Homo-oligomer: A and B are copies of this chain.
Amino acid sequence: MKPHISLITLGVADLPRSRAFYERLGFGVRQESNEHIVFMDTVNGLILALFPREKLAEDANASADTDRRGAGFPGFTLAHNVASPEEVDAVLAEAVAAGATLQKPGQKVFWGGYSGYFADPDGFLWEVAYNPFMDLT
């Protein structure tokens, strides 16, 4: 298959809450969105979608076991790269102001960059990073 990811869909507990959070963070909601699903554009054309967790599990023919919800590690991260350590701290502060939880304060990391993490309302983890070796901004 072509190495292409068209959308990432997050299974969320409260769709209006998540939509409001991502709008505060700066994501624009596409006109195809409605009360059942939210589509948001990102800079490189990837779409970030929000869909109720139970319905996403059902759509994927998976069991939305409740013991996996709301605690622990979701097993993946999203990354948002910026151009400086100062910008990492600024974006983390912006996310917290929008309703995120600070998961890990910005700090120098072993691979030579600077990064921190915030958790969105469902615990999905975003790394905010400055990487002096790869231009990902």
Give chain A's interface residues, CB within 8 Å of chain B: 1-11, 25-28, 32, 40-48, 53, 56-57, 59-65, 67-69, 71-81, 91, 94-95, 103-104, 109, 117, 122, 124-125, 127-129, 133-134, 136-137
- Sampled A-B contacts (7; CB under 8 Å): A4-B44, A8-B78, A32-B134, A44-B45, A53-B73, A53-B75, A65-B72
When the two chains form their complex, are residues A104 and B61 in contact, meaning their CB atoms are under 8 A apart? Answer: yes
**Copies of this chain assembled into the complex:** 2
When the two chains form their complex, are residues A25 and B1 in contact, meaning their CB atoms are under 8 A apart? Answer: yes
A26 and B130 alpha carbons, distance in the complex (Å): 29
When the two chains form their complex, are residues B47 and A46 in contact, meaning their CB atoms are under 8 A apart? Answer: no
Query: What distance in Å separates the Cβ of A61 from its nearest Cβ neighbour in chain B?
Result: 4
